Amino acid sequence: MSPSSSHPLSSDWFNPHPVGRTPFSKSGKPTILMCPPTYFTVSYAINPWMQEAPPCDEALAQRQWETLYKTILKKAGANVELLTPEPGLPDLVFTANAAFVYNDMAIIAHYKHPERRAEEPICAQWFEEHGFLPVLMPDHVFFEGAGDALIWQDRVFAGYKTRTDIASHSLLTAATDLPVLSMELINDRYYHIDVCLCPLQDGHLIYSPDAFDEYGRAVIEANVPEKKLIPVSPEEAARFACNSVNIGDTVILNQGSGKLVDDLKQRGFQVIEVDLSEFLKAGGSAKCLTLRIA
């Protein structure tokens, strides 16, 4: 099966182990997909952060990415798989957007902005070659992977409007049987749900209340026990505090969110701050640069 013939979402698409498919190797450790920033820069503007971005220091971005990579691998104890970077695709580094991964299935992103659509077949091919079943959204439905759909406990918090169509949410449920909680993103600076909300282990949830309307906040508060909620201030949200990586009891995030760091430590998490300032220029941080695949 080639990526061009990958299963479209439908009522009968699911086949967990097609003939000839090699299941993805699982070591028992968490596994993260990353993409080296070989071609990373800010060469177009598809979000407000990019529109305001000063020139990108590409050598510094490489060093910052390597620090994040080593932190995940050595300090958080996860495995890291690498997607090969491609010239002309600077945002391929943001692997969180590549797909929504559930068990051995990868629902591949279908990007709203044409600048990113060439990433789609590359990611579909990677997932297929590594034993996942790649699944494509219909052509008319935009969906930006784990940037806009995050599993919390037994359900999915999913954002829509800015980059992802709400029509994708019912298709996610059809594919996974997971209930999807749809929340409109009302602030263009928080264009994906993963820049304003982060599920943690044991049911904790980091979120920026200002990124959601009254209904969205009510959805969060109705599903997450108050003692598990960790709100962040607008100032720390603007430093991408919510765009964190959680591996076991370790949380990795961009530096400069002291209150959130204190809140997390009080709840028993180990916190590692890294400098990801160059990636903030493109509107991304630690979570955007990673995708949990196992």
Max distance between CA atoms of the chain, in angstroms, equals 51
Hunting for tokens 């991964």 — which residue is that?
101
| Residues with a known catalytic role | 192, 288
Q: CA 285, CA 277: separation in Å to the nearest integer?
A: 8
Q: What single-letter amino acid sits at 185?
A: L
60, two tokens: 């510094």
66, two tokens: 């390597």
Question: Cα torsion at 50, 287, 14, 141 (round to 10°)?
Answer: -20
User: What was the pLDDT predicted at 22?
Assistant: 56
- Say if strands 105-108 and 155-160 run parallel, antiparallel, or are unpaired: unpaired
Q: Is residue 292 a contact partner of residue 99, using CB atoms and an 8 Å limit?
A: no
* Res 190 pLDDT > 90: yes
Element (H, E) at 273: strand 270-274
User: What was the pLDDT predicted at 27?
Assistant: 79
Q: Is residue 286 a contact partner of residue 243, using CB atoms and an 8 Å limit?
A: yes
**Burial class for 38, CB neighbours closer than 10 Å (0-12, 13-18, 19+):** middle
Hunting for tokens 């400069």 — which residue is that?
256
Q: Residue 176, Cα to own-chain centre: how many angstroms?
A: 18
- Say if strands 133-136 and 105-108 run parallel, antiparallel, or are unpaired: parallel
pTM: 0.93
236-247: b or e for each residue (b if 16 or more CB lie within 10 Å)? bbbbbbbbbbbb
pLDDT tens readout for residues 128-182: 999 999 999 999 999 999 999 999 999 999 999 999 999 999 999 999 999 999 9
Q: Is residue 241 a contact partner of residue 257, using CB atoms and an 8 Å limit?
A: yes
pLDDT tens readout for residues 74-118: 999 999 999 999 999 999 999 999 999 999 999 999 999 999 999
